[in-house]
Structure 1
């Protein structure tokens, strides 16, 4: 009985020490170690509460045992890979324990620097913003920079108001998928974007241009973009926003199918549901967004790419 009480008291003392050490380390982490509260989150903070404590150690243990398969944070590998080997293993669990006990004051993994993310906004007049110069790019820029991230919009076109800090883009008024496709290799080679935001197909629908083959044209364009992306690059393809005079839902279903097929092939392409974010009430001319509508588009783009920024 005495032995059991002694063991319980020892366990309580260890946990108390862990929590105390965690609090001290968290208070000093900005200056003492590479465990930084960057925009991507805190390395070692597996539950996203802004602290590194016994709860995170328990989560990592459960993750390794398979009783937890998805951590509460947005980027499991960023938070739980403590030694920087791009894997979550028992070595990371051991490092977590050492950190809590105060045996180490930083993890071996060096946090990523706040690098500039190169983004190509790509498409037609909805990207250009002929009725609202800057289009969704205005609020997207503000969203990114307000989060403390650095971004470089790239492209051969340029427009937008003063509040848009980078006016470059590849939005071409009136262009269809095939016209973007004819130029994409040169643009990708010249500007080398890490992220491409593609909203295209509206003019194919408006012009009723060989709509049966629109998915094939989109497939070809996606292949060309993916072939030119860097190893950690990504392509986000939007379901197009509504039109007041045409039903775009069938095309959007095809967009989702094409993107899923490419993803199944291992290509870094993702669909973004822009259609659901905007209504015809946001389209003063029936095609292009008002500033309010473009702000809605910006938020959808930002939520899609925010975990890719600064890495």
Structure 2
């Protein structure tokens, strides 16, 4: 064989390398994937051009829907002070109380009742001019059934005292009315505001009545019912339009007395519901 052996081997190697290069060039010229014309191609000897890597768009995950609690149904119940006598718009304490509630976000209210008076978005109430405790009691069953309140703001008794109607028995009549409210709607909360302590000519009678009414809080809570007593403001003569009725300044002071007690009552109701739901 002589010197031809190494030459032939070299030629063969060279030919093989040429074939491999040609095959590689053809492969690179073919589509990377998919049907003809759909893929990416590169000239022989060039690297494969890969599609640019795109950052995936962030997935928009909707925020959980905010649960808006239903408005608390509040029944203003009582006599002409609940109606609003003495206010030019007959808005009573209800208008300033409404604004106080609207100024916070923990809860909202809806005034309910068959009477309508006052310049406010929710003018419903059960304020009845001249009514005594017994007159409220005679009608309360129907009012409670129609209004279906969660909370009753009760203010009653001054006409019993002003008309000298069995004044010593007035606190007992009030207690009977409160119990009737609970019978009509078990689970309702009662917020009772005492009589105005500076009512001319009735200061000692009002003091006795209010003391007995305040004592109801302990009695009713011991029985498992929600009852809160609101200490009434001592209005001056400049905050009344007559012996019995506040002006708008007086009504604003009444609302300021009721608001924190109402807020606490509604918070307590919500806490009780939460505990009951967790126990189920």
Give how far 1:112 is off: 6.2
Give how far 1:209 is off: 0.3
* 265, 290, 299: which one aligns with 2:256: 299
Provide the aligned C-alpha RMSD in A: 2.1
Contact 1:237–1:259 under 8 Å retained in 2? no
Instruction: Describe the SS at the equivalent of 2:142.
Output: helix
Instruction: Describe the SS at the equivalent of 2:102.
Output: helix
Q: How does 1:3-152 map onto structure 2 within 5 Å? A: 113-132=68-87, 133-148=90-105, 149-152=107-110
TM-score, normalising length: structure 1: 0.60
Give how far 1:207 is off: 0.4
* 186, 189, 198: which one aligns with 2:142: 186
Aligned to 1:15: none
Instruction: Describe the SS at the equivalent of 1:288.
Output: coil
* 118, 131, 136: which one aligns with 1:160: 118
TM-score, normalising length: structure 2: 0.67
Deviations 1:132-181 (A, max 9, x none): 101100101111122134321111111112xx111110111110100001
CA distance in 1: counterparts of 2:164 and 2:235, whole angstroms:
22
Instruction: Describe the SS at the equivalent of 1:289.
Output: coil
Give how far 1:114 is off: 2.6
State yes or no: 1:234 paired with 2:192: no
Aligned to 2:125: 169
State yes or no: 1:211 paired with 2:150: no
State yes or no: 1:273 paired with 2:231: yes
Instruction: Describe the SS at the equivalent of 2:152.
Output: strand
Contact 1:117–1:151 under 8 Å retained in 2? yes
Q: How does 1:279-294 map onto structure 2 within 5 Å? A: 279-294=236-251
Contact 1:277–1:297 under 8 Å retained in 2? no
Identify if the C-alpha distance between structure 1 residues 255 and 112 changes in structure 2 by more than 3 Å, giving closer, same or farther: farther
Deviations 1:219-276 (A, max 9, x none): 1101011223353x310111111312211111111111233222222221111111x3
Aligned to 1:8: none
Look at both structures and tell me which one has the larger radius of gyration over its CA atoms. Answer: 2
Instruction: Describe the SS at the equivalent of 1:221.
Output: helix
Deviations 1:36-59 (A, max 9, x none): xxxxxxxxxxxxxxxxxxxxxxxx
Give how far 1:281 is off: 3.6
Aligned to 1:252: 210
Identify if the C-alpha distance between structure 1 residues 283 and 186 changes in structure 2 by more than 3 Å, giving closer, same or farther: same
State yes or no: 1:262 paired with 2:217: no
Instruction: Describe the SS at the equivalent of 2:192.
Output: strand
Contact 2:86–2:240 under 8 Å retained in 1? no
